[in-house]
Amino acid sequence: SLRAVSPDDMSGKHVLITLGPTREKWDAVRFWSNPSSGLMGACIAMAAWLRGAKVTVVSGPVNWWFPADVNVIKVDSARQMFEAATDVWPECTTGCLTAAVADFRPVPHGDSKFKKAGQDSLSVNFESNSDILKTLGATKRDDQELIGFAAETSDIEKAAAGKLKAKNLDMIIANLINMPGAGFESFTNSVYVLDKSGRAEEWPNLPKTEIAWRIWDLLLQN
Ligand code: CTP
Ligand code: CA
């Protein structure tokens, strides 16, 4: 297999990856979500697998192909993703959370379909979801390492430094999601990488496959 001819420099690691959007159900036919494709996370998972790691993927509602020995846990909502990720985290050496988790979920209308008749506007209330990355960071042991992402529309360096510290991360990959050739639904990305030692790098616009490989290169250097 491909794995036999690729480097084995991640063997011994058990990597947890979250990817894709979450869906927060409101009524029988409607949900709150975002356009995340899950591609960045899928590339990171495949790169880790090729390099010999054991891989567990917690996937939002997107469909990617993974080799048979990758453990894929499919979830829908942020609460389900939280449950799955916190459940496997103690067994993992490494986490890389790429999912675009909904920060808030609508207070459900119920199991029936909301009907428009007689309504000329609609207000929906939201409640907050727990931060999965922050929760893993707070329980991170000395033998574990944790990578997060940051999706920004401005002040990328400041935001990256703030999230790295607040979530107790070893590395953060930040991107400006409103730039051409970057972010949601793109095959390429332009990222700013910061690690806990203060090393910062700005990478040129690269395919997400290449970014994935470089993230593991950098982590292994530390
Ligand atoms: N994240 C998570 N659980 C959440 C929200 C975010 O695990 N409930 C993770 C994302 O997977 C990503 C990182 O936290 O790795 C940063 O997500 P981002 O949306 O950029 O930052 P937030 O901390 O949610 O803050 P804000 O959206 O206000 O910028
Ligand atoms: Ca967020």
Q: Give residue 19's pLDDT band: very low, low, confident or very high (50, 70, 90).
A: very high
129 is catalytic: no
Tally the domains of the chain.
Answer: 1
Residue 181's pLDDT is: 86
SS3 (DSSP) at 166 = helix
Q: Assess whether the C-beta atom of 57 lies below 6 angstroms from ligand 1.
A: no
What pLDDT, in 10s, does the model give residues 190-204?
Answer: 999 999 999 999 999
H or E segment and range at residue 122 = none
pLDDT digits (tens, 9 = 90+) for 63-119: 998 999 999 999 999 999 999 999 999 999 999 999 999 999 999 998 899 999 999
Neighbours of 72 (CB within 10 A): 16
What local confidence, expressed as pLDDT, does residue 2 receive?
84
Q: Is residue 161 part of a domain?
A: yes
Q: Which protein residue has the closest C-alpha to ligand 1 atom 13?
A: 149
- In this prediction, residue 185 carries a pLDDT of 81
What are the strands, taking DSSP E only, across 52-170? 54-59, 71-74, 94-97, 104-106, 126-128, 145-152
Residue 120 lies in a domain: no
Give the N- to C-terminal CA distance of the chain in Å, as an integer. Answer: 29
Tell me how far the alpha carbon of residue 208 lies from the centroid of ligand 1, in angstroms: 19
Closest ligand relative to 78 C-alpha: 1
Q: Is 91 part of any domain?
A: yes
Ligand 1 centroid to residue 148 C-alpha, Å: 8
Summarised one tens digit per residue, pLDDT across range 166-193 is 999 999 999 988 888 888 888 999 999 9
What is the Cα–Cα distance from 119 to 80, expressed in whole angstroms? 32
Determine the pLDDT at residue 11. 97
pLDDT single digits (tens) 119-175 = 999 999 999 999 999 999 999 999 999 999 999 999 999 999 999 999 999 999 999
CATH number where 71 lies: 3.40.50.10300
In a domain, 176, yes or no: yes
Would residue 102 count as lying in a domain?
yes
Structural domain boundaries, residue 208: 2-108+127-221
What confidence score (pLDDT) does residue 160 get? 98
Residues contacting residue 111 through CB under 8 Å, at least 6 positions apart = 27, 28
Predicted TM-score (pTM) of this structure: 0.97
